Amino acid sequence: MANDPQQIKLRELPGVDRLLQMPETAVLLSTYGRALTTEALRHILDETRTGILQGTVTAVPTPANFVQTAADWLAGQLAPSLRPVINATGVIVHTNLGRAPLSQAARQAIAAAHSYSNLEYDLAAGERGSRSVHATQLLPRLTGAESSLVVNNNAAAVLLMLTALCHGREVIISRGQLVEIGGGFRIPDVMAQSGATLVEVGTTNRTHLRDYARAINDQTAAILVTHHSNYKIVGFTSEPSLAELAKLAHSHHLPLLFDQGSGALLDTAPFGLDPEPTVPGGVQAGCDLVAFSGDKLLGGPQAGILVGRADLIGRCQQHPLARAVRADKLCLAGLAATLAHYVRDEALTAVPVWRMISLSVAEVTAVAQEWVAHLHTHGIAAELVDGESTVGGGSLPGTSLPTCLVALAAANPTALAARLRAEEIPVIGRIQDGRYLLDPRTVLPEQVDNLIQSLVNWAKEEIRRLGD
């Protein structure tokens, strides 16, 4: 046993105390502290010991190698898990990639709000103020509503609206609007949590005004309309307009609540997309409250927004749930800066989501041609192909924007996709018909250089691999 190769290797393993005393370890100790550095060294030693016993470690690393491996492990453990990526998928509001990218002004506003601020302080009066003013002062101007309220997301906005106004009473909704949103959250479940009783009317494909009228009774608190933004019902369909439902609700002294969802303040039709109900359109149609997201077609940070009658907004503000779902200062700062783009009539150029939507095929093609020309100078085979971009984020289902894609010649597109995801700034493209594709429409201008460099890095590795 004395000459057993495994036992010899095990005896060669350095102790933790010895590794801690090495000069190379001083940097780790100053960076990560003694406890975490010790944990890392023990982890690497344990892994090596297991490898020796299993026969996968043929030579014991030097003490310096142990320290370097521990340094790599620590860097990996403490590296930020939330990282920027390059979205070349062609999905504009990509839920998995963070939904709407923020404008430069919104990013600057968030950075400025990281320190002390007048979040809830009235500078003129020298006393406590309201955090809601920082974003809500622009919403009435943009939507035509009397008042507004910002919470942390649209599901929270709908939950607060129903809890504050309809708890213990009935809410009428069409069966065709009982939607499920991302993550498995369903409108009926949200309504159940609010304490309101769901009253379904009509059928999946056809609901008439008379269906709503027949369901109204002494226990009715409101009529709710949910925009089916992530699916379409086509064919033999029918549903009342918002204006018709508002007239019915108001004739019975009931509020009409509208979960608009996407946060569209602008008309999508001029850009070749299906018409999307807008928030101002909902207010103009007579909706008493409209709930929508801040990080979809609005193009701002994650937020849930309520606009509508001042008395109903007041009831929502005063409900205890409002504090539990309120928006933080970073959200409010970014949202206010985003809304300012709309007030200044610069959303199509300043808000990334709308800049991407408004790009013509010719404009996208011009960018794609520049990419291909640049790649060719580095010996990378690429060509232009026609394709489609989508809005995404549960908005405008079944509609798309024509685009120009850059197709890379790769023997293994799946391997290429994995390689580009491993870049310092990961590149996310798409594989279609056996080709790896990049859509310039959704790549931010400031990330183009990183994208090209990532492709150059891949090409150089391929040349070295083939040379070996």
pLDDT tens digits for range 100-116: 999 999 999 999 888 88
Report the alpha-carbon distance of residue 306 to residue 331 in Å, rounded: 15
- Given this model, what pLDDT does residue 7 score? 84
Task: Between 417 and 134, name the one with better pLDDT.
Answer: 417
Q: How far is CA 224 from the centre of its chain?
A: 26
Residue 358 in this model has a pLDDT that exceeds 60? yes
Render 73-92 in DSSP notation, one character per residue. Answer: HHHHHHS-SS---EE-SSEE
Residues with Cβ within 8 Å of 81's Cβ and at least 6 positions away in sequence, in order, are none
Read off the amino acid at residue 428. Answer: I
Angle of helix 104-112 versus helix 329-343 axis, rounded to 10: 140
How sure is the predictor about 468, in pLDDT bands with cuts at 50, 70 and 90? low
- List the single range of 84-88, 97-101, 121-125 with lowest mean pLDDT: 121-125
Task: Between 253 and 10, name the one with better pLDDT.
Answer: 253
pTM of this structure: 0.88
- Length of the chain counted residue by residue: 468
Domains of the chain, first to last:
5-78 (no CATH), 86-92+355-467 (3.90.1150.180), 104-347 (3.40.640.10)
pLDDT tens across 281-323, in order?
Answer: 999 999 999 999 999 999 999 999 999 999 999 999 999 999 9
What average pLDDT score do residues 247-258 get? 97
Read off the amino acid at residue 6. Answer: Q
Q: Which two tokens stand for residue 426?
A: 């990961």
CB 262 within 8 A of CB 99: no
